[in-house]
């Protein structure tokens, strides 16, 4: 019997492996360039601005070049703007904004 076998503790190893796996599962948040304009973007979206309008506002007022779909994805993830899907016809869906 070797010295390694005598000091091996299965419960300790399993606990160590589970903590490493839990750390690996954590989602890392990467700060968005849009975070500093979050309040203004939400306010303008609630006021009826389209994503193209928001792109133009960011480009003109803040010299920030970003694509419309990036703003759309960013706004969809925000808890301030909850998206609801509503069927408007056979096979079609539209998105409505609901204030929380």
For position 85, what pLDDT does the model report? 41
Provide the phi-psi class of 91: left if phi over 0, else alpha when psi is between -120 and 50, else beta: left
Mean pLDDT of 40-64: 95
For position 81, what pLDDT does the model report? 84
Task: Provide the mean pLDDT of the chain.
Answer: 82
For position 5, what pLDDT does the model report? 58
Task: Kindly tell me if the per-residue pLDDT of 2 is higher than 80.
Answer: no
């Amino acid at each position: 019997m070797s010295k390694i076998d005598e000091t091996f503790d299965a419960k300790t190893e399993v606990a160590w492996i589970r903590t490493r796996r839990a750390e690996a599962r954590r989602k890392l948040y990467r700060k968005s360039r849009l975070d500093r304009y979050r309040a203004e973007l939400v306010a303008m979206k609630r006021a009826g601005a389209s994503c193209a309008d928001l792109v133009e506002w960011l480009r003109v007022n803040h010299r920030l070049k970003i694509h419309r779909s990036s703003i759309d994805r960013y706004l969809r993830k925000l808890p301030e703007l909850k998206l609801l899907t509503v069927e408007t016809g056979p096979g079609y869906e539209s998105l409505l904004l609901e204030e929380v």
